[in-house]
Amino acid sequence: MKDIFKGRSFKIVIASTIIIIGIMMYSASVSGEQNALASIATFITTPIQKLSALISGGIGSFTNQFEDVDSIKAENELLEKKVRELIAQTVDYDDIKQENERLREILGLKEANPDYAFLDATVISRDTTDVFHTFIIDKGSLQDVSLYDPVITQDGLVGYVSQVGPVSCKVTTILSTASSIGAVDRRTRDGGVLSGNLEMSSLGNAKLSYLARDCDVAVGDIIVTSGLGGIFPKNLVIGEVLEIKPEAQDISLYAIIKPRADIVGCTEVYIITNFEGQGAVVDGELADIMPPQTQGDTSSDTESTAE
């Protein structure tokens, strides 16, 4: 046993520990950017991960056909019934057109938000060690993705870009404790701060804190972004209220929010690279999402963007 400390491996461990701690200190000092080593590595791993995500998606959809055969059969029967009903109905062409336009407005984010500049991206990797479902997407600074760009799906907000590499970037989800987003109730305009919570995130939910005791937030209400801080666009759907509870530490209330977007299972997302009011942070006002230690950096970042 005494030989342990004299062995070659022990010396390697000590030397490696010193080097790794050095790398960690360097990485911590350049928060938000990939370090040189990681950038080189992602150049190699990103195409491989992209391919594996593609294959995985293909296999998943192929096997799902067999897994869901009963439900597809039932759904098929239901659809056939609906088709017969629809054929039986006489519907005016203009009505259909109007309806179609309305649905396009609701579903098509681009149509609904003409000021958004979108970039579609594929989820190529998920961090299995992270309980807040952080993931990597296949777009980076070479495609004009910037730090803190909002990431969404057609259903709602997913998170924000927390680290940008040349060909990929890391997305921190709204379920993470690292994010705190200004959010309001769409019906009552009661505001709070949306953040992650360890236990809630395991169920795919987030926490809307600092609601006033006399607020009118109700179960089922839709929560949207407040737009304050200029990080997220205003009125971006986050999710709906599942439950409202009093906070244990103070007199405020908090709500459990079920995100509209499928954060845990999404494979395709959109990055909003530009929108009206982006980076419009008023001096002295806290940015929407920043954890306290990086708020200073963000203000300067967003201010420079505004310029």
Partner 1 sequence: MRAILKNIKIKWVAYALEMVIIFILQNTPGLIPSFLGQKPMLLVIFAVSIAIFEGDVAGVSFGIAAGALMDLTASSVFGFYTLIMMLVGYAAGICVIYLMRNNLVSCIVLSTAGVFFLSFVQWLFEFAIWGDAGTWYFLYGVILPRMIYSAALTPVAYYFNRSLAAHLSSDTE
**Contacts to partner 1 by CB under 8 A:** 1, 4, 7-10, 12-13, 16-17, 20-21, 23-24, 27-28, 35, 37-38, 41-42, 45, 48-49, 52-53, 55-57, 59-60, 123-132, 134-136, 162, 170, 172, 176-178, 197-200, 202, 265, 267
Shortest distance, position 207 Cβ to partner 1, whole Å: 9
C-beta closer to partner 1: residue 7 or 246: 7
Rounded least distance, CB 181 to partner 1, Å: 17
Q: What's the CA gap between 229 and 257, in Å, rounded?
A: 21
Task: Give min distance, CB of 274 to partner 1, in A.
Answer: 25
Terminal-residue alpha carbon distance, the chain: 64
The residue (of 48 and 142) whose beta carbon lies closer to partner 1 is 48
Q: Which residues contact 209 (CB under 8 A, 6 or more apart)?
A: 192, 193, 194, 195, 247, 252, 254
Backbone φ and ψ of 80, nearest 5°: -60, -40
- In angstroms, the CA 274 to CA 280 distance is 12
Please identify, using beta-carbon distances, which residue of 23 and 83 lies nearer to partner 1.
23
* In the complex, minimum distance from the CB of residue 228 to partner 1, in angstroms, rounded to a whole number: 24
Kindly state the smallest distance separating residue 101's Cβ from partner 1, in Å. 34
- The continuous run of DSSP H or E covering 191 comes out as strand 191-195
Q: Which is nearer to partner 1, 23 or 69 (CB)?
A: 23
Q: What does the buried/exposed string (b/e) look like for 93-112 if buried means 16 or more CB atoms within 10 Å of the residue's CB?
A: eeeeeeeeeeeeeeeebeee
Which candidate, 198, 172, 154, 133, places its Cα nearest to that of 288?
172
Nearer to partner 1, 10 or 213 (CB): 10
